[in-house]
Amino acid sequence: MKSLDKKLRNIKSLDNKRSNFIIADAKDADMAGGIRGPGFIRKSNGELTNKPDNFSSYVNKMDEMTKSKLIDVMLMSMSSAEILIKNKLFIDSPVTPAVRLNDTTCTWGMIRHGEYDKHESRPFSTAQLEYAIKFVDLGLYSITFNKNIDRDVLMLDKYREFRNKAEKLGMRHFLEVFNSATLDLDIKEMGQYVNDCILKTLAGQFSKEKPLFLKIAYNGPSAMDELASYDPSSLIVGILGGSKGTTRDCFELINQAYKYGARVALFGRKINLSEHQISMVDTMRTLIDNNLDSLEGVKIYHDKLKKLNIKSDRDIKEDSEITEEALKL
């Protein structure tokens, strides 16, 4: 049994051991747009360059992370998933492969000179389920609520069409719900709005068509607590990582999210843009399993970098600061 399935079963039975916390490495940024998706090349000493990494290197990092067994899910684009699954990477591995099954327009923010993320999100899917099911049985589906009747009805119509097709093909999914960048709401209001939209969306679904878990932004303690405590045996809440931030931001986000009910962390940039990805995720695991303070996690991570002779992007004092608004509420 894959670690994901085992942990989901335990979480649904309200087994809240910290060892059941799920970590997903979200390496699907190539679907966000172009050259900069895989990140930037680092020198052997960890120093960051301004030269974009290439696709082959990006895939190699997925291979390395999967073989580390530190994660439970590897989220990929169809392009990278096809390569790695044909290479039999996930056979006899505890890691579950998953692919991004749609790419709403708000995710196109990495396209140079594009301004797609400044507009209300529209539903769109590059990936085709008929091909995806040949490689995986788990995928991410994403929606964004715009507080616009026509846009939101279309978004939900497309989600219903997806669920109908996915159920027939045997494709499981988890649901990503973004904060809309076009809404004039403060973080507390955003949390309330997104939570209500999520629960309204799930209420009309039969159990077999529901997502395995959610992937949402952390909108502060109150929003997380009310959503995670609404139906904990059925609704499993996960957090997305957002921007890279500081190392303290990463670890504080995990600690706060766990404290207020999240049981999954699905991080992209917080892993992919770190100085040493394996060390970052290893420290995340240590932090979660041992209930360590986020500041202690920063010290552990920097010690790992020193032992590997890897230069950190920030000195430890700066990297120990909390900079993200939601973590200061």
34 has a pLDDT exceeding 90:
no
Structure tokens at 225: 């607590």
Asked if the model's pLDDT at residue 317 lies above 90, the reply is: yes
pLDDT of 33 higher than 90: no
The mean pLDDT of the chain is: 96
Are 141 and 104 within 8 A, CB to CB?
no
Q: How far apart are CA 287 and CA 253, in angstroms?
A: 11
Q: Check: CATH 3.30.750.24 for 3-328?
A: no
Domain edges within the chain: 3-328
Instruction: Give the pLDDT confidence score for residue 320 in this predicted structure.
Output: 98
pLDDT tens-digit series, residues 149-190:
999 999 999 999 999 999 999 999 999 999 999 999 999 999
pTM of the shown model? 0.96
Instruction: Please state, for a pLDDT cut of 70, what percent of the chain lies above it.
Output: 100
With beta carbons less than 8 A apart as the criterion, state whether 104 and 122 touch: yes
Binned at pLDDT 50, 70 and 90, residue 119 comes out as very high
pLDDT of residue 16 exceeding 90, the answer is no
* H-helix segments, 218-276: 221-228, 247-259, 269-272
Residue type, 110: M
